[in-house]
Amino acid sequence: MARQWRGLLHEYADRLNITSATPIITLGEGGTPLIPAPALSERTGAKVYVKFEGMNPTGSFKDRGMTMAISKAVEAGAKAVICASTGNTSASAAAYAAYAGITAAVLVPEGKISMGKLSQAVAHNAQILQLQGNFDDCLDIARDLAENYPVHLVNSVNNDRIEGQKTAAYEIVEVLGRAPDFHFIPVGNAGNYTAYHRGYREEITRGATHVLPRMFGFQAAGSAPLVNGAPVLKPETLATAIRIGKPASWDLAIAAKEDSNGYFGAITDEGILAAQRILSADVGVFVEPASAISVAGLLERAEAGAIPKGSVCVLTVTGHGLKDPQYALKRPDGTEVSPEVVAVNTAEIASVLGLAKVK
* Residues contributing to the site for ligand F0G (CB under 6 A): 60, 62, 85-89, 156, 186-193, 241-242, 288, 290-291, 318-319
Smallest distance from the beta carbon of 178 to ligand F0G, in angstroms?
24
Instruction: Please answer whether residues 257 and 217 qualify as being in contact, where contact means their C-beta atoms are separated by less than 8 angstroms.
Output: yes
Other C-beta atoms closer than 10 Å to the C-beta of 45 total 13
Distance CA 149, CA 278 (A): 46
The smaller minimum CB distance to ligand F0G, of residues 47 and 88, is found at: 88
Instruction: Please answer whether residues 337 and 331 qualify as being in contact, where contact means their C-beta atoms are separated by less than 8 angstroms.
Output: yes
Smallest distance from the beta carbon of 34 to ligand F0G, in angstroms?
17
The smaller minimum CB distance to ligand F0G, of residues 47 and 171, is found at: 171
The smaller minimum CB distance to ligand F0G, of residues 187 and 221, is found at: 187
The smaller minimum CB distance to ligand F0G, of residues 47 and 226, is found at: 226
Closest CA to 73 of 189, 194, 190, 161: 161
Other C-beta atoms closer than 10 Å to the C-beta of 77 total 8
Smallest distance from the beta carbon of 175 to ligand F0G, in angstroms?
21
Smallest distance from the beta carbon of 287 to ligand F0G, in angstroms?
8
DSSP string, 195-237: HHHHHHHHHHHTTS-S---EEEEEEEGGG-HHHHTS--SS---
Angle between helices 167-176 and 191-205 (to 10 degrees): 50
Instruction: Please answer whether residues 235 and 134 qualify as being in contact, where contact means their C-beta atoms are separated by less than 8 angstroms.
Output: yes
Smallest distance from the beta carbon of 190 to ligand F0G, in angstroms?
5
Smallest distance from the beta carbon of 163 to ligand F0G, in angstroms?
13
The smaller minimum CB distance to ligand F0G, of residues 70 and 242, is found at: 242
The smaller minimum CB distance to ligand F0G, of residues 71 and 318, is found at: 318
